[in-house]
Amino acid sequence: MLSHINIGTGTEVTIRELAETIKQVAGFQGQLRFDSNQPDGTPRKLLDVSKLNALGWQAQIGLLQGLLETYQWFIKSKSM
């Protein structure tokens, strides 16, 4: 079967939760501001990972750990 398969955790996260997590990972001390007068965008942003799970694969790394590892890699590679 030739098809695209979504790779994700199957866990929904809000834009606010994502922004707060990135803020935490990056050590950003500033304030996040959200403009509620702007459009909300897509109501749901959850990937369907059922095909991937049916193939026997399941996410091993959560959002926080993945962001931490990626940010640490970025900082390390930037200083090289």
* Domain residue spans of the chain: 15-78
- 77 SS3 class: helix
DSSP 38: S
DSSP 65: H
Burial class (CB in 10 A: 0-12, 13-18, 19+), 22: middle
Which of 2, 8, 25, 1 has its CA nearest to residue 62?
Answer: 8
pLDDT in tens, 38-63: 877 776 778 888 888 898 999 899 99
Q: What is the mean pLDDT of residues 5-22?
A: 86
Which tops the pLDDT comparison, 40 or 21?
21
| CA separation for the pair 71, 33 (Å, rounded) | 22
Q: What is the pLDDT of residue 43?
A: 67
For 58, residues 6+ apart whose C-beta sits below 8 A from its C-beta are 52
